[in-house]
Chain A
Amino acid sequence: MRRSLYLAGVTMLCAWTLVPIYFLALGALGGRDLVNTFPKPFWPGSASLSTIRDFLAIDGVTGATITSVETACLCMLFSLILGLPAGYALARFSFRGANAYRLLILLTRAFPVAILALPLTVGFIRLGVYDTPLGVSLVHTALALPFAVLVSSSLFQAVPRELEEAAWVFGCSKLQAARRVVLPLALPGIAAIAIFAFVISWNEVFAASVLTVRHRTLTAYLLTVLSESPLHVQFAGGFVLILPTVAFIYLVRKHLFAMWGISNR
């Protein structure tokens, strides 16, 4: 009885994520006609990559992909550079206003980007980062940072202080101890932070489309137009857009589970 309940639960959860992806794939591979037929066959009679190929052949998709990767990597880098020290400080040092600081960090997500669009764009033009991957990645970093700080602080908290102290005893400076002892232990979690930063940047549309003209990220370049395209193109676009994130998460799944292991301890 319990076992069958368990299995049913697992099946439900798998279906929850897999069925939409399956329909997406079906729409993307089945071509124009299949999209409008209902009920849909389980397996498309003539699966072809032609829709996806057409989609990828669209002018500027390659450029936008490069910009997207660039922006997402920069965002990842900034989130780590800024987020890890902040998280470390929150975990290891008790300082006045630590709790207020925690809250304040979350506040960066409280302002809707839509309201900030005009002043942000004007500011970016004056700074000279308008229409550059760097500029977009700065906004994305602001969005990803709360997550990076809070998660890394709980990560560092989970690394026993005694290990760090032992390293000091054996002659490490504080920086060395952090780098050689704490960082490797927290690495899986850090990988997860990096992924989330990457995914947040990859998926973000609004800032990316307001702050750029020539150098659009893939999501901004396509999503602004995708909602008004014929269905089969929408399916192909959706399919192409989720592939990198799915692949990325698949590659680092071990680290992800490891992180949840730590924080559950």
Chain B
Amino acid sequence: MIRIVTSVLAATMAMSLPARAEDLVFLSTQLRPVEEAQKMREIILKAGPVLTTYVADFPQVVPTRLAAEREGGKHTVSLVGGLHGELQPLVTAGDLMPMDVLAAKLAGRGIPPALMELGKLGTAHQMYIPWMQATYIMVANKQALPFLPKGADINALTFDQLAEWSAAVQASTGKRMLGFPAGPQGLMHRFFEGFLYPSYTGGVVSTFKSAEAEAMWTQFAALWKTVNPNSTSYNFMQEPLLAGDVWIGFDHVARMLDALRQKPDQFVAFPAPAGPKGRGYMPVIAGLAIAQGAPDAKGAEALIDYLSTPATQIKMAQTSGFFPVVTATLPDDLEPGLKLAVAAIARTQSAPDAKPSLLPIGLGTQGGAFDKIYLDTFQRVVLRGEKPRAVLDRQAEGLKKIMAETGAPCWLPDKPSQGPCPVE
């Protein structure tokens, strides 16, 4: 027994000793799913300027790891990739390196100034370089199209029309076929923060308990009566769409791409609906940052440079469902599923009534608590059927506390504020 164990050990040690030499560690919270990570490694990074080990990790683990490496005094991570909101706490902890020189060098790539500004994360220096962007869209099964309300344009839908549509589908099939990703790993909170609130109230924080918000929750609770009750267990909408449990779904584009890719003939993709105050939508922005004390900062810079070339950005779009932040024209021969997604995103961004709503800015480690305010309100008003007014007043207290503690000023779509964003 022991002899077997020792020989196995000796063999594996011998095989693993010539470890991937002095490679650069790229820690990323994005492109985690096996297939995407695989494409990232095989297609994008293999052709890159430096030998890279791509490590995909959960967002919660990243700050712990960087803090441990800082305290332990041995750095392995050079490049960090993550969403805007995930990089923010790293700046507060002092784990990112300013990169103004690189930012100046990349000025000609055509990254929109507004995005570059976001990359400063409220400091005077460039803390991350925008890497890729995405947003949330809606996907519908073509079988649902005949039930569209008369005169409705699917690319300029309103919430009222969506409710009518979903009710018509239910009346005809006897099933609740609208779906939202309200499962434990789902991104439902972004629907409230980036779509529902801005569309109905024109704000997210300041209008939290306004009369418009009250009306909005009442209407959304009514809409929920046509929503598939399994929605509270959906994390990704692509599976229920493919399985035919849901005909109309809302989710992050990357989380529905699989459905569009597998059956591009069966689905249509279109922008999220508009409310009385416009068509709220939340752009999702991922950035690349260099870890403080990075063992290979030069290599990380070279890699960022490479990842933000138009050619690489186009390749990324083809493999991942994230879209370029630089000026780049996507080729015409895109695969059909991707083409649907690209078109829906473009229509969202260029809609005349578009109302961009940013991810929360300046909340630091309170981001989770902020999301929970919206999810709890949803739970109580929609799932448990409580009166919106009482719930909003109660939850607004929690929201006020978070804003006061973090001192975060308003971000879009709320009007700019002096000091912490007020909950009016």
Contact = CB atoms under 8 A, between A and B. Distances in A.
Nearest to B258: A230
A135 B238 CA distance: 39
Interface in B1-57: 1-2, 5, 8-9, 12-13, 15-16, 19-20, 23, 25, 27, 32-35, 37-38, 41-42, 53, 55-57
B239 interface: yes
A122 B37 CA distance: 28
B249 to A, nearest CB: 14
Interface string B228-261: 0000000110110011100000000000001000
A126 B32 CA distance: 29
A229 B68 contact: no
A228 B236 contact: yes
A58 B72 contact: no
Contacts of B1: 191, 194
Interface string A145-167: 00000000000000000000000
Q: Which of A37, A55, A77, A122 has the most CB of B within 10 A?
A: A122
B142 interface: no
Q: Is the interface of B mostly helix, strand, loop or mixed?
A: helix
B35 A74 contact: no
Contacts of B69: 121, 125
A213 B69 CA distance: 11
A224 B16 contact: no
B34 A222 contact: yes
B16 A66 contact: yes
Band of interface residues on B = 35 or more
Contact of B71 (A37, A59, A122): A122
A105 interface: no
B19 A36 contact: no
Given A73-B5, A228-B185, A237 B41 contact: no
Given A194-B1, A213-B55, A214-B20, A66 B77 contact: no
25 contacts: A36-B244, A66-B12, A66-B15, A66-B16, A67-B16, A69-B8, A69-B12, A73-B12, A77-B2, A117-B68, A122-B71, A125-B69, A125-B71, A125-B72, A131-B76, A210-B61, A213-B77, A214-B19, A214-B23, A215-B16, A225-B34, A229-B35, A230-B238, A233-B33, A233-B35
Interface of A: 32, 36-38, 55, 58-60, 63, 66-67, 69-70, 73-74, 76-77, 117-118, 121-126, 130-131, 133, 191, 194, 209-210, 213-216, 222, 224-231, 233, 237
